[in-house]
Amino acid sequence: MILTRKIEIVIDENERELRSEYLKQIHSWGYLVRNGANELISYLYSIDRLKYYKFITEDTKIELGIIGAKGETIKEGSASYVLLSERLKGQVPMDVANALQQNVTNSYKEIRGKIFKGTASLKSFGNIPIPFGGASLRNLVYKEYTNSYHFSLFGIPFVTVLGRDRSNNNYVLNKCLTKEIKICTSSLQISENKRKLFLLLSVEMPRIELSLSEENFIDAHLSIETPIVAFFRNEKKMIGNKEEYLHRRIQIQKALKRAQINSAYTNGGRGRKRKTKALENFNGKEKDYINTKLHTYSRLLIDFAVKNRCSTINLINQTLKEKDAVKNPFLLRNWGYYGLKQKLAYKANLFGIKIVDKTG
């Protein structure tokens, strides 16, 4: 399975002017990648839609050809590559253009059916990561005296910032270094405030082989009162509680609201930046807290399944609960069913455990 790790990195260059040039180059790539992605997805939709317009005759549809860079007619499947090549050639590495073409095309295919049904709109890309093939990450080495990994990407040197490494990224990078796991198409992300860089490292993790019993299963109930209540035969396991998850989340929301109200009375002098300084302390805090808790809850449930050699986790009445949550603004705002299911799915897949929605 493909697993993505988010690792903070910095440019490994002591000379200030050169480091600044590298940073400008990365931001320029980010700008071009965003524009290229938006143009490409619009192009894919327009070409796709031409086939279904009733006011265009069949003969006209046949005559509508796609011209390549050298003036020759090309196949429809190659058109997206030609578009990005002409737009980005010489401005971004071609490996980035290739990876971007694949990512945007796959993203469009996922929502194509919903767009034609009118249940979804065409996606718009904002601050998207800069994609690249795994082979572009080169010269990966570990330096013990700094406890960090150094590598180069399109000629720009980087070094990792692992910190406390609660996600065990050191283990993943070490496996990449020894080539025990393969680096797949990854990406370089610029933070929203443009102050930090992150490596979104995608690796192909081997499935952990366990002797699971096909007869053993867990019935799990997801709710806002207790995030997960799991049953295995006569054993009951409660994971998390309302006070731990919901209370803390609401407190963050209230603190942000107070900061927004109080910012009206903050002294000026440096304009908007000073007015909103208190709000920046809460930037992404609620999202990070939720992400951490959902990772913890999903891991505890998977550990419970592995301990009892269960091959299946049944999510009881989950589809019905998600429909009810849409009607309840409080649940929709404060309870992340999708995030928890998503984290459960990829962790379960790592151990070969099936996740099943069950009515009962």
What pLDDT digit, counting tens, does each position of 291-337 carry?
888 888 889 999 999 999 999 999 888 777 777 766 766 555 666 66
Residue type, 182: K
Here the contacts of 251-257 (C-beta below 8 Å, separation 24 or greater) are 252/282, 252/285, 252/286, 252/289, 253/286, 255/282, 256/282, 256/285, 256/286
pLDDT at 150: 94
pLDDT higher than 70, residue 65: no
| Terminal Cα-to-Cα distance of the chain (whole angstroms) | 31
pLDDT at 32: 93
Q: What sign has the CA pseudo-torsion 221, 349, 120, 330?
A: positive
Q: Are 307 and 218 in contact (CB under 8 A)?
A: no
Verdict on whether the full-model pTM lies above 0.75: no
DSSP string, 81-125: HHHHHHHHBTTB-HHHHHHHHHHHHHHHHHHHHHHHHTSS-----
Q: Are 267 and 328 in contact (CB under 8 A)?
A: no
* Alpha-carbon span 106 to 212, nearest angstrom: 34
* Alpha-carbon span 89 to 353, nearest angstrom: 44
* Alpha-carbon span 24 to 22, nearest angstrom: 5
* Alpha-carbon span 152 to 158, nearest angstrom: 6
Burial 107-118 (b: 16+ CB within 10 A, else e): bbeebeeebeee
pLDDT at 136: 92
Instruction: Give the model's confidence band at 138: pLDDT under 50 very low, under 70 low, under 90 confident, else very high.
Output: very high
Instruction: Give the model's confidence band at 158: pLDDT under 50 very low, under 70 low, under 90 confident, else very high.
Output: very high
Digit-coded pLDDT (tens) for 256-299:
888 777 777 766 556 666 667 777 777 677 778 888 888 888 89
DSSP tag of 222 = E
Q: Are 10 and 163 in contact (CB under 8 A)?
A: no
Backbone angles phi, psi at 330, to 5 degrees: -65, -45
Q: Are 218 and 308 in contact (CB under 8 A)?
A: yes
Instruction: Give the model's confidence band at 350: pLDDT under 50 very low, under 70 low, under 90 confident, else very high.
Output: confident
pLDDT at 187: 94
pLDDT at 23: 93
CB atoms closer than 10 angstroms to residue 199: 23
Q: Are 82 and 68 in contact (CB under 8 A)?
A: yes
* Alpha-carbon span 123 to 135, nearest angstrom: 29
Question: Residue 288 is encoded by which pair of tokens?
Answer: 């990070």
Question: Residue 238 is encoded by which pair of tokens?
Answer: 């409660």
